[in-house]
Amino acid sequence: MLARLHLEPDEALRLQDELGKILDHFLALATVDTDGIPPMTHAVPMDLRLRDDEPGPSLPAAEALKGAPAREGDLFIVPAIIGGGRES
C-alpha cells in the first residue's frame, strides 16, 4: 500500500521471495560498526542552495498540463478521492 502499486497475486508471491533473498544478503550490513559515523550527503562539502525568491519566466500552464491523461482547462481530472464513484 505504501508503494501504491497494484500487484497480481503471483507477482506478489514472486516479489516476496526475491525481496527476502535480497534482504538476507543485506544482513551483513548490521555487523558493520557505524557508531558515531555521520550519514553522508554530498561528495564535496556544500550546503543546499536556495534561490532568491524572485518571480521569473515559467512554463505556461497549458504547456505544463499537455501531458496529463485527463484535464479540463487548467485542472487535472481525477476520480473520486473518497468513496467508490467517479466525479466525472
Partner 1 sequence: MSTTEWLSVAETVQKVATGELTAVRVVDNYLARITNVDRELGAYLVVDSGDARTHAQEIDRKRAANQPIGPLGGVPIALKDVLVTKGLATTAGSKILEGWIPPYDAAVVERLRAAGAIILGKVNCDEFAMGSSTERSAYKRTKNPWDTSRVPGGSSGGSSAAVAAGLCAASLGTDTGGSIRQPAAFCGVVGLKPTYGRVSRWGVVAFASSLDQVGPLTRTVRDAALLLEVIAGLDPRDSTSLDQPVPKYTDAITGDVNGLRVGIPHEYFNATIDDEVRAAIEKTKLALVERGAVLVDISLPNTAHALPAYYIVAPAEASSNLARYDGIRFGKAAAGAKNLMDLYMRSRGAGFGPEVKRRIMLGAYALRSGYYEAYYKKAQQIRTLIKRDFDTAFQHVDVVLTPTTPTAAFRFGSKATPLDMYLADIFTLSCNLAGIPGMSVPCGLTVDGLPIGAQLLGRPLDEATLIRTGAVIEAAVGLGARRPGGIS
Q: Which residues are near partner 1 by CB under 8 A? A: 2-8, 11, 15, 18-19, 21-23, 25-26, 28-30, 32, 34, 37-44, 46, 48-51, 59, 63-64, 66-70, 76, 78-86
What is the C-alpha separation between 9 and 29, in angstroms, rounded? 31
> Measured between alpha carbons, how far apart are the two ends of the chain, in Å?
25
In the complex, the smallest distance separating the C-beta of residue 55 from partner 1, rounded to whole angstroms, is 15
In the complex, the smallest distance separating the C-beta of residue 79 from partner 1, rounded to whole angstroms, is 5
In the complex, the smallest distance separating the C-beta of residue 20 from partner 1, rounded to whole angstroms, is 11
Selection from 16, 32, 33 nearest residue 24 by Cα:
16
Instruction: State how beta strands 71-72 and 75-76 pair.
Output: antiparallel
